[in-house]
Amino acid sequence: MLEKEWVAFWLFRLGYFIIVFIFSLLLTTAVVYTVACVYAAKQITFKKIMSVVPRVWKRLMVTSFWSFALFFVYNVVAVGLLIVWLVVVRQFSVGPALGIAKAVILLILYVIGIVYMTVFWQLASVISVLEYAYGRKAMAKSKRLVKGKMGLSVWCFLGVLVWSVLVQALSESLVVLGFQLESRLALG
């Protein structure tokens, strides 16, 4: 019985991931096009924005799949390096303090790489919506656009990330773990 529950759980999670992915593509398209219309002083209607989605979703999906492939390769390499590092630590009996220090340095480098790739992925998604470049071409163009502005891009990304984590933590602590129904509705 437990095995069936795990299968159902993972199928539900897979379905959830697919739905979230589709809605994130739709949301990205709508927001990017809306902002572009505002900057271009074009009239914005819901119907006009939704008419853009069928034209650009394929480009955005190709760009997203390339990004996912890049993240997958990055994580496989990171896990491989972690395994090599663990073997080296065990083989040469590195002290615990040195081992922990190196682990922290590797973790910081890993996070820097993830943030770096996420910045390019987000900008490549915008490029895929607004231009006919998609996939690797959009990622290469996003890299050229960010060049020289990487510090600002990372700070913007980290600012959004910190606020997202804060909202998620507050929501979970106040709504999920806390108040009565009326308070939850008011807080929402």
- 3 state DSSP class of 142: helix
Cα separations in angstroms, 60 against 52, 78, 111, 118, 130: 12, 27, 25, 15, 10
Residues 128, 156, single domain; the answer is no
- Over residues 20-68, the pLDDT tens digits come to 888 887 887 888 888 888 888 888 888 888 888 788 888 888 888 888 8
* Separation CA 71–CA 118 (nearest Å): 9
Q: Which residue has the tokens 């890993």?
A: 110
Residues 129, 162, single domain; the answer is no
* Separation CA 121–CA 138 (nearest Å): 9
Residues 106, 159, single domain; the answer is no
Q: What is the mean pLDDT of the chain?
A: 81
Residues 161, 79, single domain; the answer is no
Please tell me the total count of domains within the chain: 2
pLDDT score of 76: 95
Residues 185, 124, single domain; the answer is no
Residues 182, 129, single domain; the answer is no
The residue segments making up the domain with residue 96 are 2-147
Residues 58, 17, single domain; the answer is yes
Reported pTM = 0.70
